[in-house]
Structure 1
Amino acid sequence: MLESIARHILGLTGWAALAIVFTLPMLESSAFVGVVVPGELGVLLGGVLAYEHRVSLPAVLAAAVSGAIVGDSVGYWVGRRYGRRLLESRLGRVVKREHRERAERYLAERGGKAVFLGRFTAALRALIPGMAGMAGMPYGTFVVYNVAGGAVWASAMVMVGYLGGASWRRAERWASGIGLAILALVVIGLALKMAGRLTRRHAGRLRAVGDRLAATAPAAFVRRRFPAQVAWLRRRLDATTPDGLPLSAALAAAALLAWTFAGLTEDVIVHGGVTRIDPRAHAIVVAHRTGWLTFIMGNVTWLGSSYLLVQVLVVATVALARGPRRRAVGWLWVAYGGAVALYTLAKPLVHRPRPSAAELIGHATGLAFPSGHATASIATWGMLAIVLATGRPRGARVGLFTAAVVIVLLVGASRIYLGAHWPTDVLGGYALGGTWLSLLIACRLRRRGRHQPTVGDQAGLTATGTVTGARSPRGETPQAPPRSK
């Protein structure tokens, strides 16, 4: 059946093709029709039609995005208008009342994220809009996440079909795999969040369980036999101090990224491993270049150049010099300078040439691995987001980190698109710059931990402001104030 539908869609041109690209995603997410209507297939094939020049790529993007947004809005209003009636039917009796009420409360409070993330899996695309309407989510909240999710999903699916070209079956498998990966990340994130919430809610009970386990004979033997190691491990896993679990996580991230960079470097040197995809990926990118995208990438790539990064750092230095974050200015320059030094040292050691100059857009000289733009951008923009996010509300922090991630990804994509680097050059730059950034984060956490009293110290604060058990600058334990007679 899908083969027959695909053949009919691929035979269309002009307005008929655009109508299908608009209608299928609209029907998919409106009134649960997505259970039988393959909206994702229509959007992917719209990208294939754009690849075959039957319709223009901007028109396909506009049709797919608008169809996704309109369909979700229709599903929302159907759920809001007729949802209660459906729940009172035989279909609604399958769901327990308490489970339904809990889901409605969750969607009413935190449903915006569900609307955005649900767009990337077929089953959730058909259900989430109607459930959001049933739960009484404000339409203003719904439409913001609906527009964001519809725009990102539809654009990504169209581009997958466009880059996949005639091999639309392979592109369909890519899209399904991406959707499943995103769903897995969402489930893992929700599980971790729930675990953290349960840990905070039942901290006393969990502490009691931990004390009972610590009192067992094997645990007591380990503490007696390895007291220093046990104490060190407890400090590393303490989530209440910056130099505890956060520091351990930063060091683990640095180790993982360094291992990734070492593996990529080995593959580049021996011309094997993941580097085998470089020529094929480069050929696909060159074959699908367009004028408007070349214009965008040619400007985006400057966000990772030293010329612009230095100017950004100068502006940030002047802006932060007189504020509470003035001490963080040095971290910005260390992040940028260290990244430049690292890729400058790494390039001659690997000595990898760039792609063919005949396929290069713009100007690029020197060696290829790792990408200097990718290395400097992840370290500089990442540290700038960290510095600016300190002490700000959660929404502002999320916005700053999201902006930094988008900039870094666009810079890497621009280097590949313009033919200045192979894909593994960019990945190597990300790994190298991410390693340096993680180490700097660990240093910042270590410094904060030294200036922040531990939980035990805070519990020992006396009325005079002295910390019980704390050391004086000379290493002596301060004495308690004498009692009055």
Structure 2
Amino acid sequence: MNTFVHRYELDTSRPTVRSAARDAATRALLPAVVGWLVLIGVGFLIVGPLDDYPEGNAVEQWFADHRTPTMNTVSEWVGHLGMTEVVIGVTALTVAILWWRTRQWWFAVVPALAVSLQSLLFITSSALVGRERPDVEKLDEAPPTSSFPSGHTGASTALWLTMAMLAQRIENQVLRTVVTVVCTAIPFAVGISRIYRGMHGPLDVVFGILNGVLCLVVAWWYLRRDTSKARVS
């Protein structure tokens, strides 16, 4: 048994709101700040000394040159899985269902914490770095945020990898495997769709994924849990 994945099952003790808030600040927010500093540093490196990483232009242009009507439609629908409205809606529904099924508010807030931290890191770092979007025809209207990091990719990573973690509670092995694989694949599909549609370059997507992974990990870890007596199998 993976004690990190199942930590909220191994220790179901009820924390106080105050202790949970303190843990969130020290175990989630502070590590996220460190990640934010790294994100900012990489972003400034890309737009500065790396001269906006021109090597990525070939990848962006390749996708633009190989567009088809079918893939245009597919990429549009895949990209919806990382849209703000969809991410917020699925997150809110997940929190509500978790709270209802487990009666553990301290566990139910994990998806919201992961998505919220990702959004905070993405919006602030994007505003500071200000990287221009790829110089190819764009299939979507460009939002006011800049290209680095990819917000769609980061949001989908934080949300759908959290869903993959939650799927480990499914008892049926086949269903658990299918749900895990699908949820894990979604962020990568969203990232590729964003490159395909001319909205982001490869590095934007890579660091969008890393941003989402970081926020998932610290959100899942935010609350102190005692797993010392757990048997690892």
TM range (shorter): 0.7 to 0.9
2:179 alignment partner, one of 397, 400, 405: 400
1:441–1:266 CA distance, 2 compared to 1 (3 A): same
Say whether the 8 Å CA contact 2:111–2:219 is kept in structure 1: no
Structure 1 residue 411 corresponds to structure 2 residue 190: yes
Deviation at 1:351, TM superposition (A): 1.0
1:304 alignment partner, one of 67, 79, 82: 82
SS in 2 for 1:321: helix
Alignment of 1:28-39 (within 5 A): none
Structure 1 residue 314 corresponds to structure 2 residue 92: yes
Say whether the 8 Å CA contact 1:370–1:428 is kept in structure 2: yes
1:268 alignment partner, one of 43, 46, 56: 46
2:203 alignment partner, one of 413, 424, 445: 424
1:261–1:398 CA distance, 2 compared to 1 (3 A): farther
1:435–1:387 CA distance, 2 compared to 1 (3 A): same
**1:363 alignment partner AA:** E
Deviation at 1:422, TM superposition (A): 1.3
1:290–1:242 CA distance, 2 compared to 1 (3 A): closer
Using the alignment, how far apart are the partners of 1:403 and 1:325 within structure 2? Answer: 27
**1:380 alignment partner AA:** L
Deviation at 1:277, TM superposition (A): 2.0
Using the alignment, how far apart are the partners of 1:241 and 1:323 within structure 2? Answer: 21
**1:454 alignment partner AA:** K
Deviation at 1:410, TM superposition (A): 0.8
Could you say which residue in structure 1 is the equivalent of 2:58?
280
TM-score (structure 1 length as normaliser): 0.38
Deviation at 1:280, TM superposition (A): 1.1
Residues 259-280 of structure 1: per-residue CA shift (max 9 Å, x gap)? 9856742541325289232111
Could you say which residue in structure 1 is the equivalent of 2:229?
454
Alignment of 1:9-158 (within 5 A): none
Could you say which residue in structure 2 is the equivalent of 1:458?
none
**1:438 alignment partner AA:** V
Using the alignment, how far apart are the partners of 2:208 and 2:195 within structure 1? Answer: 12
Q: Which has the higher contact order (CA 8 A, sep 6+)?
A: 2
Using the alignment, how far apart are the partners of 1:416 and 1:435 within structure 2? Answer: 22
Say whether the 8 Å CA contact 2:91–2:112 is kept in structure 1: yes
Structure 1 residue 385 corresponds to structure 2 residue 140: no
Deviation at 1:419, TM superposition (A): 0.6
Could you say which residue in structure 2 is the equivalent of 1:112?
none
The runs of 5 or more residues in structure 1 that have no matched partner are 1-238, 244-250, 456-485
Could you say which residue in structure 2 is the equivalent of 1:370?
149
Using the alignment, how far apart are the partners of 2:74 and 2:113 within structure 1? Answer: 30
Could you say which residue in structure 1 is the equivalent of 2:13?
none
TM-score (structure 2 length as normaliser): 0.74
CA RMSD, 1 decimal: 3.1
Could you say which residue in structure 1 is the equivalent of 2:222?
443
Using the alignment, how far apart are the partners of 2:219 and 2:95 within structure 1? Answer: 18
The runs of 5 or more residues in structure 2 that have no matched partner are 6-27
1:264–1:400 CA distance, 2 compared to 1 (3 A): farther
Using the alignment, how far apart are the partners of 1:330 and 1:362 within structure 2? Answer: 32
Deviation at 1:440, TM superposition (A): 2.0
Using the alignment, how far apart are the partners of 1:320 and 1:308 within structure 2? Answer: 18
Alignment of 1:212-227 (within 5 A): none
Could you say which residue in structure 2 is the equivalent of 1:333?
112
1:274–1:394 CA distance, 2 compared to 1 (3 A): farther
1:365–1:269 CA distance, 2 compared to 1 (3 A): same
How many matched pairs? 202
SS in 1 for 2:55: helix
1:435–1:353 CA distance, 2 compared to 1 (3 A): same
SS in 1 for 2:100: coil
Using the alignment, how far apart are the partners of 1:308 and 1:241 within structure 2? Answer: 30
1:393–1:275 CA distance, 2 compared to 1 (3 A): farther
1:355–1:448 CA distance, 2 compared to 1 (3 A): same
1:240–1:318 CA distance, 2 compared to 1 (3 A): closer
Residues 130-185 of structure 1: per-residue CA shift (max 9 Å, x gap)? xxxxxxxxxxxxxxxxxxxxxxxxxxxxxxxxxxxxxxxxxxxxxxxxxxxxxxxx
Using the alignment, how far apart are the partners of 1:383 and 1:283 within structure 2? Answer: 32
Say whether the 8 Å CA contact 1:376–1:433 is kept in structure 2: yes
Using the alignment, how far apart are the partners of 1:370 and 1:242 within structure 2? Answer: 27
The structure number with the bigger radius of gyration is 1
Could you say which residue in structure 2 is the equivalent of 1:345?
124
Using the alignment, how far apart are the partners of 1:274 and 1:392 within structure 2? Answer: 47
Say whether the 8 Å CA contact 2:157–2:212 is kept in structure 1: yes
**2:225 alignment partner AA:** R
